[in-house]
Structure 1
């Protein structure tokens, strides 16, 4: 590295002079860096707007379907024996008496005898036949798997609808026993060892739990099932059986889940307000400085379109034509508040008309669907607002990076030129100073000689 001592000949602080000249030369780069910061801030703002639009779309996705809007709820007299849920196919106002007589269960069996060692060859070799639900499965036992451990593994790997395990009873002489459980309710199983020769006896005896179907009575009508989850006993309802007790009934009443509708509409207002609040904060009012995208035409277009959709008439067969009729009221700051009295009246008296307005009907696009479609267009990853703005901003950032690189290279050359020029000036002045010193010395010598001659 070259060490320079500026100003030794001229007395000027050439280093400081060069530094100040270069600072002036860097003014264009400073402006370009400010442009970079501005563009990055704009990109972040568009990303935030896109996040809020996506959040709004997610909050209103259920308003697009009448089946979701008209969700059913089930009121139970007890949850001890059965747990019920209902979909849109359940009859509103329906009332049912459900009696759980028995639960569906799998067969469970344990080998009659115990064994001292689970890894030693205990049983004969040949064919072991296991019948499951009327279907026979032949397992081959040989010297590699005729231990208790090998038999358990063979049954499990055969995947015949039985799960095998080994239990330890704690018996001092023969603690190990084979435990078998069906994997499908209502399917019994049995074991035939006549195809085995030699070895100890293998028998599962009488089941400790019989395989059986579930049995319920709905309004005294008997219904059986291979599962403890029954979906066809009552139209539009699913019954999960919990406990059986013959003679005890559970009353089920089906109603529309009005609280769910209120929650969905509250989510609409929340999502709308999140978007409008952000756009409003970007706008300049009076002495308030606007955000970096406040003057962007596309942002203001979003605000205008969302406001217009609130009051846009949607012709349909119901009594409501605009979403504002449901109690949505626009405040001075552009946010929405829900008039609970108006909304409750609409829910209690014209519930299906709310669903018609929001989700639409044949030939008519619902208001919520309009919002959903618009939000989808704005947030589309390929053609949406963020994608368009991001492409433009990133192109400009790339251009600025290139300009900065070119300018930095030019300034490096400029600084080297200045340093060379000032160095040359110092060299020249230094030479002139040397000459001046020499001439001064010669004049002094001449003067001395003339004075001595006298």
Structure 2
């Protein structure tokens, strides 16, 4: 007799013979066995959350390090401003290399490029909503159009089929050649334009091999070349261009800067000794350029730095003092099924709170950074050797290192002795204890990042293996979880085999009982 159970045991349908809810019994048996696995997964999740918290602080420190780096640079404290007495003629700005003082400037001529446009309206380029071909628009008698165009970047031979190409095709191909010449067609004005992309004597437009005088003009009755007003249709685009190889070039700017006369530039924007000048008017226009220290820029840089410092300190202190709710462990899959999304979210917030509370590594990071911000920088000639001297101080111990700025005192220090303030931050030395505040703090932040990376790794790491301390813990835990899951699967399979054997035995007994009853019934019938 074939057992019904044997044909369905692979599907794990229990209780067919006994009526017992085998599945529920085995689930309850396994629930107790899975408690160690659930605990392992919870411990792993706590480690993953700790790793995320560490890495978030690492990323914040990296962003803060960029701010500190700027404060290491002397250029940050040497910000300059420039003003012009005649903005209509020239505007000015200055970088940190500019020397404060007053300078005279006279602009003899501006730098220009070359621009050639149709001297009269061209025939309409569209008809019935469609763009005409070159032949249709200009009533050309030839099929092939060729010419050579040369600009500052080189030259190119162009060829167009007048039966298929149109005026926009011509403009597009000239632009694609990257000759230093821009071509365009204004459909509103019905005019074609060629313009150099740069200024100065190197900028040029030169036309040759224009046998059909498409861009250029032929000689007129007066011996001139390229004047459409004197031509009778021999310059298709009506541009004032000669086709005999004449190069139309721009001009350089010419100016005097103090005693340096006869200076030239291919552009109207020039930088001289850290002063950037934008020339706007030629013809001998003059201006006085004044360069002075930009104390507002330096003040704002220091203010932004202090703000960034307070943010990073607040973030780390927040993790160090965050409350820990030890009764809220990470949820198991079974527990998640019993909670709503909102309940799950609130539970998780409690579960991952305070995982770095009192963390010794972060405590050491904060302590070192705070010590640096209150340290004395020895060996400075100026009166400023601490941040407090320039108005940057803490107020109360309970605020755990937060800094405040006495803005009036800081501005006064920047005005009286800008170099002294600069040296307070940027003093360089082989000896850590003799470095400026920013130089020392940069080292501190790098050390902190290295410690956190060793503990938890970084989210930006390109390595597939996480060799951090927490990474190794998680890897070891994954192996334990895998081993335990395999053991639990074997245990569950064993339970199913045992219950299956019981079901088979009961089924066999039921079959025998039914046979006996059948035999007894047959005997009574006789």
The TM-score range, normalised by the shorter chain, is: 0.7 to 0.9
Number of residues paired by the alignment? Answer: 422
Residue 42 of structure 1 is matched in structure 2 by: 50
Cα deviation 1:72-103 (Å, max 9, x = unaligned): 012344533322111223222x1234444431
TM-score (norm: length of structure 1): 0.74
Q: Aligned in 2, Cα 1:118/1:279: closer, same or farther, shift over 3 Å? A: farther
User: How far 1:385 sits from its partner (Å)?
Assistant: 5.6
Residue 354 of structure 1 is matched in structure 2 by: 421
Counterpart CA distance in 2 for 1:153 and 1:351 is 55
Counterpart CA distance in 2 for 1:437 and 1:169 is 102
1:236 matched to 2:274? The reply is yes
Q: 1:224 aligns with which of 263, 274, 277?
A: 263
Q: 2:372 aligns with which of 301, 309, 313?
A: 309
Counterpart CA distance in 1 for 2:488 and 2:452 is 40
1:292 matched to 2:310? The reply is no
CA RMSD of aligned residues (A): 4.8
Residue 201 of structure 2 is matched in structure 1 by: 186
Q: Aligned in 2, Cα 1:6/1:141: closer, same or farther, shift over 3 Å? A: closer
1:322 matched to 2:392? The reply is no
Matched residue SS, 2:438: helix
Cα deviation 1:357-406 (Å, max 9, x = unaligned): 11115766322012123323433699666538972222222222222222
Cα deviation 1:97-149 (Å, max 9, x = unaligned): 44444311123446889893679468899xx898x89xxx998799999x998
Matched residue SS, 2:263: strand
Which range moves more in the overlay, 149-158 or 47-56? Answer: 149-158
Residue 524 of structure 2 is matched in structure 1 by: none
Residue 370 of structure 1 is matched in structure 2 by: 440
Contact 1:231-1:237 within 8 A present in 2 as well: yes
User: How far 1:324 sits from its partner (Å)?
Assistant: 3.5
Give 5+ residue unaligned stretches, structure 1. Answer: 439-454
Which range moves more in the overlay, 280-289 or 63-72? Answer: 280-289
Matched residue SS, 2:357: coil
User: How far 1:204 sits from its partner (Å)?
Assistant: 4.3
Give 5+ residue unaligned stretches, structure 2. Answer: 1-10, 124-137, 220-224, 228-239, 243-247, 327-352, 459-465, 516-526
Contact 2:79-2:294 within 8 A present in 1 as well: yes
Q: Aligned in 2, Cα 1:37/1:237: closer, same or farther, shift over 3 Å? A: same
User: How far 1:303 sits from its partner (Å)?
Assistant: 0.9
Counterpart CA distance in 2 for 1:119 and 1:366 is 80
User: How far 1:48 sits from its partner (Å)?
Assistant: 1.0
Counterpart CA distance in 1 for 2:269 and 2:391 is 41
1:418 matched to 2:470? The reply is no
Residue 254 of structure 1 is matched in structure 2 by: 291
Residue 234 of structure 2 is matched in structure 1 by: none
Counterpart CA distance in 2 for 1:427 and 1:156 is 87
Counterpart CA distance in 1 for 2:118 and 2:511 is 119
Q: Aligned in 2, Cα 1:384/1:70: closer, same or farther, shift over 3 Å? A: farther
Counterpart CA distance in 1 for 2:119 and 2:323 is 91
Residue 107 of structure 1 is matched in structure 2 by: 114
Counterpart CA distance in 2 for 1:253 and 1:301 is 49
Counterpart CA distance in 1 for 2:284 and 2:513 is 127
Contact 2:14-2:22 within 8 A present in 1 as well: no
Counterpart CA distance in 2 for 1:140 and 1:281 is 70
Counterpart CA distance in 2 for 1:354 and 1:412 is 69
User: How far 1:181 sits from its partner (Å)?
Assistant: 4.1
Counterpart CA distance in 1 for 2:502 and 2:159 is 105
Which range moves more in the overlay, 349-358 or 263-272? Answer: 263-272
Counterpart CA distance in 2 for 1:7 and 1:70 is 92
Matched residue SS, 1:34: helix
1:404 matched to 2:476? The reply is no
Residue 181 of structure 2 is matched in structure 1 by: 163
Contact 2:115-2:193 within 8 A present in 1 as well: no
Contact 1:122-1:148 within 8 A present in 2 as well: no
Q: Aligned in 2, Cα 1:250/1:264: closer, same or farther, shift over 3 Å? A: same
Counterpart CA distance in 2 for 1:425 and 1:417 is 12
Residue 463 of structure 2 is matched in structure 1 by: none
Q: Aligned in 2, Cα 1:354/1:437: closer, same or farther, shift over 3 Å? A: same
Matched residue SS, 1:307: helix
Q: Aligned in 2, Cα 1:124/1:310: closer, same or farther, shift over 3 Å? A: closer
Counterpart CA distance in 1 for 2:68 and 2:140 is 60
Counterpart CA distance in 2 for 1:240 and 1:333 is 49
Contact 1:185-1:212 within 8 A present in 2 as well: yes
Q: Aligned in 2, Cα 1:3/1:182: closer, same or farther, shift over 3 Å? A: closer
Q: Where does 1:49-60 land on structure 2 (aligned, <5 Å)? A: 49-60=57-68
Residue 311 of structure 2 is matched in structure 1 by: 274
